[in-house]
């Protein structure tokens, strides 16, 4: 046992193998993804928790996953389709809106839920350490589960209309679907963790998020086809990285619209940069956010 | 056994007081400007003592320059008053937050039990929560599965394991939570206050478990206000005071120092540079027996002992005497008797006794403050550290009824006819 603790700095430095050194600030690019991988069980348990706890003590259970987009679709069909009369490129209105909503929903739930990572989990984060990124990642995955359920439901509708002989023809772009889902998840996660990092100290952004996401939807071809955009707004809509994703999503399933691979590439690039920036910011904030949250 | 597994090197942690969000932007800008000009962060001045009731400054140092190390297999007790920095220390170690300066080095996997039941979800069943909680604490699914039966048995809630925990009694909840945490197998375990929960029987079980954990060669850091538990579990300890490391050593020395400190220093206000400081002060009678009560007209002594922490040229010692309305009644200093306390070397200790003759303050309760210093400043000033009372008696004044409370002193008088 050593008693000369305070004289330590004078000792000659010997080779030491500490497994962890906690410092005030870590370098910007010190992201520990391997550690995240070690906690994969935790992520899967969080996903399970989210899924199970959401529909405990409900009679309809997981059916609620479907009811929400279904009702939104009906509302959009009445309001935007029948009353406002926005054309849908010749696709049955229900199908057109539902495809848009299912795709957009995944993005908006990812963004909304992950944007509160630090605030909502402050009590857990204040007591135990685990890689904080596990939380938003698990949110994105559990939202993926509801997306898949909604997507299967959409396929049922699609099959129904195809049997009825209405002209919808899923194209070869179906192969792009996994990529589209990845982009949606990446964008939602990226924006979400950036917002959650920025809101630990200043809460102003919280008020903007839900509202902002709704507005954002109108700048994305969810309830209208890209072909209907007047020229002067086109740049705005095209700068939106979600535009090519939703448009391609619809094209793949319904066979109309257009796939512009250049724009899709733009979305991919945007997602990669956004995620990288998001993880860096998140990583910087996670160490001391408990002091300010 | 002598392998170092944790080392704190000059670790400090600063917190901001008050509501975050008012003025943070201006503070941030302030810091930023200081930074780009290459100056010291204006909010990070180490050296201000952290006490809970001082209200100066917007920032507080919860920990200041903490350095210590812990060897493999040791069980270290962290002892200190509320606000001494114990929990902050554990929070830093368990990576909940990062230090403001300094470094903490760790060898091995750490698991912390800062509060049991973290992440329990009320809607999930006991079983589901065991898995979830275990994973939050850093176990893999496989590890949890292999210990699942043991955990359930230890908790004693096996009957309810498929019931949502929101239906549990609070006792069952805590027992299940502790059972999960107790079956972690990290190299280093951090424990804070868990023994405050559960009934006596469960506490016994918990202490037993902790003991077997520490006997199995694991390193444990343990924080609790329960000194008995600390003494049972720990071999070594550190004493924190106002965010600083006050003492380090065998656990019994630490707990007794803590007990002593909490009796005296809870109420004591002490200030000064501590270039020299009092180590002892007491009131005794002329036979050097400790007393706290005298009669009017008695002679008694104040014994002091003080030690130089630095080399000092000379020192003066004085006593202030106040009554229980905090009115300044009497003052005594060494110069009164042409007594000199000459230069002291660092580490030197002196004993000085002051004889006070024929005390003639009105009967009541009095407090003596001791002061040590010289014309350049105060070394050590301990306010109201000796309490004593003066009884009227019948030796000094013989009136058969109580002395008038409004009067402050008693004058010795002789009466005669001329």
Higher pLDDT, B86 or B300: B300
What's the confidence (pLDDT) of residue B319? 94
| CA B106 to chain CA centroid, nearest Å | 25
Query: Is A20's Cβ below 8 Å from some Cβ in B?
Result: yes
Q: B185 in a domain, yes or no? A: yes
Among A256, A236, A265, A210, residue whose Cα is nearest residue A100: A256
Q: What is the pLDDT of residues A274-287, one digit of tens each?
A: 999 999 888 888 87
Query: Quick one: B171 and B248 in the same domain?
Result: yes
Q: Which of A263-267, B56-60, B241-245 has the lowest mean pLDDT?
A: B56-60
Q: A198 in a domain, yes or no? A: yes
Q: Which of A177-191, B22-36, B132-146 has the lowest mean pLDDT?
A: B22-36
Q: Of the candidates B264, B286, B303, which is a domain's last residue?
A: B264
Query: Quick one: B96 and B241 in the same domain?
Result: yes
Query: Quick one: B187 and B210 in the same domain?
Result: yes
Q: A56 in a domain, yes or no? A: no
Query: Quick one: B260 and B276 in the same domain?
Result: no
Range of the domain at B331: 270-391
Q: Is the pLDDT of residue B379 over 60?
A: yes
CA A152/CA A136 separation, integer angstroms? 24
Instruction: Give me B186's structure tokens.
Output: 């990290």
Query: Quick one: B280 and B238 in the same domain?
Result: no
Q: Is the pLDDT of residue A10 over 80?
A: no
Query: Quick one: B247 and B334 in the same domain?
Result: no
CA B193/CA B227 separation, integer angstroms? 11
Q: Give B315→chain A minimum CA distance, Å.
A: 29
In sequence order, which residues have a C-beta less than 8 Å from that of residue B205 and are 6 or more positions away?
B154
- Spell out which residues of chain B touch residue A18, defining contact as CB-CB under 8 Å: 7, 105-107
Q: Which of residues 226-285 of B touch A (CB under 8 A)?
A: 236, 248
What's the confidence (pLDDT) of residue B331? 94
Q: A223 in a domain, yes or no? A: yes
Query: Quick one: B228 and B358 in the same domain?
Result: no
Q: What is the pLDDT of residues B188-219, one digit of tens each?
A: 888 876 555 566 677 777 777 777 777 777 88
Instruction: Give me B368's structure tokens.
Output: 């003596």
Higher pLDDT, B264 or A273: A273
Minimum-distance CB partner of B115 among A5, A19, A127: A127
At B249, which CATH number? 3.40.50.300
Q: Do A45 and B95 touch (CB under 8 A)?
A: no
How many structural domains does chain B have?
2
Q: A46 in a domain, yes or no? A: no
Q: Is the pLDDT of residue B245 over 60?
A: yes
Q: Is the pLDDT of residue A95 over 50?
A: yes
Query: Is A55's Cβ below 8 Å from some Cβ in B?
Result: no
How many structural domains does chain A have?
1
Q: B53 in a domain, yes or no? A: no
Q: Give B2→chain A minimum CA distance, Å.
A: 7
- Spell out which residues of chain B touch residue A23, defining contact as CB-CB under 8 Å: 98-99, 103
Query: Is A14's Cβ below 8 Å from some Cβ in B?
Result: no
Q: Of the candidates B248, B264, B280, which is a domain's last residue?
A: B264
Q: A127 in a domain, yes or no? A: yes
| CA A91 to chain CA centroid, nearest Å | 27
Q: B296 in a domain, yes or no? A: yes
Query: Is A292's Cβ below 8 Å from some Cβ in B?
Result: yes
Query: Quick one: B295 and B275 in the same domain?
Result: yes
Residue A7 pLDDT class (50, 70, 90 cuts): very low
Q: B156 in a domain, yes or no? A: yes
CA B7/CA B14 separation, integer angstroms? 20
Q: Do B24 and A124 touch (CB under 8 A)?
A: no
Q: B345 in a domain, yes or no? A: yes
What's the confidence (pLDDT) of residue A13? 43
Query: Quick one: B231 and B282 in the same domain?
Result: no
Q: Select, from the ranges A178-187, B184-193, B279-288, B368-377, the one with the highest average predicted confidence (pLDDT).
A: A178-187
Range of the domain at A124: 61-291
- Give the mean pLDDT of B176-191: 82
Query: Quick one: B250 and B277 in the same domain?
Result: no
Q: B18 in a domain, yes or no? A: no
Query: Quick one: B317 and B348 in the same domain?
Result: yes
CA A292/CA A119 separation, integer angstroms? 10
Higher pLDDT, B242 or B118: B242
Q: Is the pLDDT of residue A171 over 50?
A: yes
Q: What residue in A sits closest to B16 (Cα-Cα)?
A: A291
- Give the mean pLDDT of A153-172: 84
Query: Quick one: B308 and B237 in the same domain?
Result: no
Query: Is B114's Cβ below 8 Å from some Cβ in A?
Result: yes
Q: Give A134→chain B minimum CA distance, Å.
A: 10
Q: A45 in a domain, yes or no? A: no
CA B254/CA A45 separation, integer angstroms? 42
In sequence order, which residues have a C-beta less than 8 Å from that of residue A129 and are 6 or more positions away?
B94, B95, B96, B110, B112
Q: Give A201→chain B minimum CA distance, Å.
A: 7
Q: A41 in a domain, yes or no? A: no
Report the run of H or E that residue A131 belongs to, with start and end.
none
What's the confidence (pLDDT) of residue A192? 94
CA B82/CA B238 separation, integer angstroms? 15
Q: Which of B123, B144, B146 to mutate to test the interface with A (most CBs of A within 10 A)?
A: B123
| CA A125 to chain CA centroid, nearest Å | 22
Minimum-distance CB partner of B94 among A2, A6, A129: A129
Q: B97 in a domain, yes or no? A: yes
What's the confidence (pLDDT) of residue B194? 56
Q: Which of A41, A54, A125, A198 to mutate to test the interface with B (most CBs of B within 10 A)?
A: A41
- Helix B141-155 vs helix A40-54: angle between axes, to the nearest 10 degrees? 60
- Give the mean pLDDT of B46-64: 61
Q: Is the pLDDT of residue B370 over 90?
A: yes
Q: Which of residues 193-232 of A touch B (CB under 8 A)?
A: 201-203
At B374, which CATH number? 2.70.50.60
Q: What is the pLDDT of residues A103-127, one digit of tens each?
A: 999 999 999 999 988 888 888 888 8
Q: B99 in a domain, yes or no? A: yes
């Amino acid at each position: 046992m050593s008693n000369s603790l305070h004289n330590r700095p004078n000792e000659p430095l010997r080779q030491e193998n500490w497994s962890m050194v906690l410092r005030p600030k870590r370098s910007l690019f010190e992201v520990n993804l391997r550690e995240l991988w070690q906690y994969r069980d935790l992520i899967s348990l969080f996903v399970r928790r989210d899924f199970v706890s959401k529909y405990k003590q409900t009679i309809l259970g997981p059916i609620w996953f479907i009811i929400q987009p279904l009702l939104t679709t009906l509302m959009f069909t009445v309001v935007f389709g029948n009353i406002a009369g926005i054309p849908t490129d010749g696709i049955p209105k229900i199908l057109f809106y539902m495809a848009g909503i299912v795709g957009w929903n995944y993005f908006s739930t990812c963004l909304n839920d992950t944007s509160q990572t630090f605030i909502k989990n402050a009590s857990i984060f204040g007591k135990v350490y685990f890689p904080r990124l596990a939380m938003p990642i698990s949110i994105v995955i559990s939202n993926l589960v509801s997306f898949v359920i909604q997507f299967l439901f959409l396929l049922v509708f699609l099959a129904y209309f195809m049997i009825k002989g209405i002209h919808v023809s899923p194209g070869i772009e179906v192969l792009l679907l996994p990529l589209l889902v990845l982009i949606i998840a990446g964008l939602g996660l990226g924006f979400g963790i950036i917002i959650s990092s920025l809101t630990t100290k200043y809460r102003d952004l919280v008020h903007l998020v839900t509202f902002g996401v709704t507005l954002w939807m109108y700048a994305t071809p969810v309830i209208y086809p890209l072909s209907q955009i007047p020229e002067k707004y086109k740049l705005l809509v095209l700068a939106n990285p979600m535009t090519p994703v939703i448009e391609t999503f619809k094209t793949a399933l319904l066979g109309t619209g257009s796939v512009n691979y250049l724009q899709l590439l733009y979305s991919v690039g945007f997602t990669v940069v956004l995620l990288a920036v998001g993880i860096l910011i998140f990583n910087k904030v996670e160490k001391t956010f408990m002091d300010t949250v | 056994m002598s392998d170092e597994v944790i080392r704190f090197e000059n670790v400090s942690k600063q917190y901001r007081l008050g509501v975050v969000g008012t003025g943070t932007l201006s503070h941030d800008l302030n810091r930023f400007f200081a930074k780009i000009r290459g100056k010291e962060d204006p909010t990070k001045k180490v050296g201000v003592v952290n006490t809970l009731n001082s209200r100066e400054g917007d920032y507080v140092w919860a920990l200041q320059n903490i350095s210590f190390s812990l060897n493999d297999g040791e069980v270290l007790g962290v002892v200190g008053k509320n606000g001494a920095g114990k929990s902050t220390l554990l929070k830093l170690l368990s990576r909940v937050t990062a230090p403001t300066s300094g470094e903490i080095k760790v060898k091995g996997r750490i698991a912390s039990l800062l509060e049991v039941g973290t992440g329990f979800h009320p809607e999930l069943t006991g079983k589901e929560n065991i898995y979830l909680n275990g994973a939050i604490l850093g176990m893999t699914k496989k590890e949890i599965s292999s210990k699942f039966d043991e955990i359930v048995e230890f908790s004693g809630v096996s009957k309810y394991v498929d019931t949502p925990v929101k239906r549990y009694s609070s006792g069952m909840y805590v027992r299940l939570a502790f059972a999960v945490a107790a079956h972690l197998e990290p190299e280093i375990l951090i424990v804070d206050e868990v023994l405050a929960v559960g009934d006596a029987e469960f506490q016994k079980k918990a202490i037993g478990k902790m003991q077997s954990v520490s006997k199995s060669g694991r390193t444990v850091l343990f924080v609790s206000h329960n000194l008995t538990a600390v003494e049972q579990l720990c071999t070594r300890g550190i004493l924190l005071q106002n965010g600083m490391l006050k003492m380090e050593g065998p656990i019994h020395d630490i707990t007794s120092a803590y007990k002593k400190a909490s009796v005296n220093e809870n109420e004591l206000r002490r200030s000064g540079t501590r270039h020299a400081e009092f180590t002892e002060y007491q009131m005794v009678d002329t036979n050097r027996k400790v007393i706290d009560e005298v009669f009017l007209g008695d002679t008694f002594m104040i014994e002091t002992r003080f030690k130089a922490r630095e080399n000092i040229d000379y020192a003066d010692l004085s006593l202030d005497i106040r009554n229980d309305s905090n009115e300044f009644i009497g003052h005594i200093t060494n110069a009164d008797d042409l007594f000199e306390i000459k230069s002291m070397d660092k580490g030197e200790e002196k004993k000085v006794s002051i004889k006070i003759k024929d005390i003639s303050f009105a009967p009541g309760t009095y407090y003596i403050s001791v002061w040590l210093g010289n014309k350049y400043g105060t070394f050590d000033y301990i306010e109201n550290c000796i309490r004593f009372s003066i009884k009227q008696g019948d030796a000094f004044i013989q009136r058969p009824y109580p002395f008038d409370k409004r009067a402050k002193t008693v004058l010795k008088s002789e009466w005669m006819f001329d």
